Structure 1
Amino acid sequence: MHCFELHRGSLPLLVSLPHNGIEIPDDIRSSLVDEAQSAPDTDWHVDRLYDFAISLGASVLKPRYSRYVIDLNRPPDDASLYPGQNVTGLCPTIAFSGRPIYRDGKAPDSEVIIQRRALYWQPYHAALQTELHRLKLAHGRALLWEGHSIRPELPYLFEGRLPDFNLGTAEGRSFPDARLRAVEAVLATQSDYNWISNGRFKGGYITRHYADPQAGIHAFQLELAQSTYLDESMTVFDAVKAAPVQALIARMMDVALHVPD
């Protein structure tokens, strides 16, 4: 079963899009409440947003299945990434709205979660790890860029309105602070989008787990407000709105790759 798609590039850069998947197997879909069957918490069209990265020479990894099947950016033991805050789990049962995802009595039990982890989570992570290893062998270093997006207002998860660009480096543990300052300088040259570093989103499991700065492997998460590149419904890609966002991300990537630590 092919549960991900990997494009291998020539740069020491891997773009991972773990919440881009939209498919839900029929047996799982039938257990979801009606509003969850459209997977509203998808990182809509981030693969299209990042299609420029392939032409730059980046590797790109994206899943086939929805985060409602399993969340690829959560730890396999489902430990909370943000203790004390509302979060969603490895096999989410609560949507970003705070409402249930599953019909009564249909939420996955521990055995089902183990099965899904083997079927969907492990293959994606094996591919991610293998590609990072390939890039490290080829270049002596690698940058893992985690591409995410989210609706800018979600009271269940955070107060107020999210900034447009949310940079996460696990408080400096996954990406050098000097290089982060250089990426921030790119954002500081423009006034169309606001931004924050290590705010509500500091980097998920993938950013935290795969970063190994001592070995030359860095990880950086960008959580975009979906209002920056989608239409007003925040489900339809808006190419005109997206173009300057893509150009800005490309500049950020260039700096992230080439500025010394």
Structure 2
Amino acid sequence: MTGFDDEFSPAFAIAEPAVWRAPIIFNSPHSGSVYPDAFLDASRIDLEALRRSEDSFMDELIDHLYDRGFPVVRVHFPRSYIDVNREPYELDPRMFHGRLPSFANTRSMRVAGGLGTIPRMVGDGQEIYRERIPVDEALGRIETLYKPYHRALRRLVNKAHQSWGTVILVDCHSMPSVGVARDEPRRPDIVIGDRYGTSCAPLIPALVEETLAARGYSVGRNKPYAGGFITEHYGDPSNGLHAVQVELNRAIYMDERLRQRSERFERVAEDFTVLADALATIPQADLGPLQTAAE
């Protein structure tokens, strides 16, 4: 088995400023667009279909925030290859040759929907693989891509937390403008996910909504996306660890059919600057140990 990390060179990148403006980290885990040849060969669908699962250009919308003193994390491998916004071993046994580890989570809702750590489907429901893949292949991706990414992200989060006593992780995603279900209501421009009030202090999503609504966006909360593994796993507001997901409707910054940046792209990037600046004004004392909504 070849070294997966060599195929992506590197698998992910962290742009950390010499001086942090505030303990706020911007993360883009689903914008990776480097597709290994072996993966394309094993796929029953073409590259264009695979790319429908990408949060296209999301990393570019936030990369300038590094120049303003905010760390930015971006992943280079595609989520259809391995999804870091899942538990490490959410795996569908129907996908693999060989026996999965006993600790694998084979019964989650995400696995059932074909969207586990090694996805069986792309976002619009198309099956990815022509045939089963070896278990060792899946475990290799987890060991050499998933785990190093989360170790690096955790180190960055811990560094901010130790220095400032608090941290805000802004997990940045994009969504198709139209849902798969025909009866789904029209999607807003932005959906804020805070795991229904459990992943961050209430003032954070309130400020995100206020800031973006003032810039002309329609904003929703937690539906259809409340936040995935990253928001849930890194958010611990009772200990000053806050994670919020910001999901952009792709129609506001790109042509979804042509997969090209639209004329509004630069405006949306500027609005992320406004959002980052607004978050940086939150007093650190307001982000210390808190009681979550669930408590």
Fold conserved between structures, TM > 0.5:
yes
Aligned to 2:123: 96
**Which residue identity lines up with residue 56 of structure 1 in the other structure?**
R
More displaced stretch, 84-93 vs 228-237: 84-93
**Which residue identity lines up with residue 255 of structure 1 in the other structure?**
A
Aligned to 2:13: 5
**Which residue identity lines up with residue 31 of structure 2 in the other structure?**
N
Q: Is contact 1:97-1:156 (8 Å) kept?
A: no
Query: Which of these residues, 174, 183, 186, is aligned with residue 149 of structure 1?
Result: 174
**Which residue identity lines up with residue 28 of structure 1 in the other structure?**
F
Unaligned runs of 5+ in 2: 91-104, 287-295
Query: Which of these residues, 210, 231, 251, is aligned with residue 185 of structure 1?
Result: 210
Q: Hey, what's the Cα distance between the residues in 2 that align with 1:56 and 1:116?
A: 33
Q: Is contact 2:215-2:271 (8 Å) kept?
A: no
| TM-score normalised over the length of structure 2 | 0.79
More displaced stretch, 208-217 vs 167-176: 208-217
Q: Is contact 1:98-1:156 (8 Å) kept?
A: no
Q: Is contact 1:81-1:205 (8 Å) kept?
A: no
**Which residue identity lines up with residue 155 of structure 2 in the other structure?**
T
Q: Aligned pair count?
A: 257
| Residue 148 to residue 257, structure 1, CA distance change in 2 (3 Å) | same
Query: Which of these residues, 49, 69, 91, is aligned with residue 61 of structure 2?
Result: 49
What SS is found at the alignment partner of 2:170?
strand
Identity level (%): 27
Q: Hey, what's the Cα distance between the residues in 2 that align with 1:189 and 1:19?
A: 27
- Higher RCO (Cα < 8 Å, 6 or more apart): 1
| Residue 200 to residue 158, structure 1, CA distance change in 2 (3 Å) | farther
| Residue 207 to residue 251, structure 1, CA distance change in 2 (3 Å) | same
Query: Which of these residues, 10, 13, 17, is aligned with residue 28 of structure 2?
Result: 17
What SS is found at the alignment partner of 2:179?
coil
Q: CA deviation digits over 1:8-34, x for unaligned, max 9? A: 121312111111111122222210023
Aligned to 2:93: none
Unaligned runs of 5+ in 1: none
| Residue 73 to residue 227, structure 1, CA distance change in 2 (3 Å) | same
Aligned to 1:204: 228
More displaced stretch, 46-55 vs 118-127: 46-55
| Residue 225 to residue 85, structure 1, CA distance change in 2 (3 Å) | farther
Q: Is contact 1:143-1:257 (8 Å) kept?
A: no
**Structure of higher CA gyration radius:** 2
Q: CA deviation digits over 1:210-236, x for unaligned, max 9? A: 112233221111111111111252511
What SS is found at the alignment partner of 1:171?
coil
Coordinate RMSD, CA, aligned: 2.4
The 5 A counterparts of 1:31-180 are 31-36=42-47, 38-78=50-90, 86=113, 88-103=115-130, 105=131, 107-155=132-180, 159-180=184-205
More displaced stretch, 70-79 vs 153-162: 153-162
Q: Hey, what's the Cα distance between the residues in 2 that align with 1:149 and 1:96?
A: 12
Q: Hey, what's the Cα distance between the residues in 2 that align with 1:31 and 1:40?
A: 17
Aligned to 1:218: 242
**Which residue identity lines up with residue 274 of structure 2 in the other structure?**
R
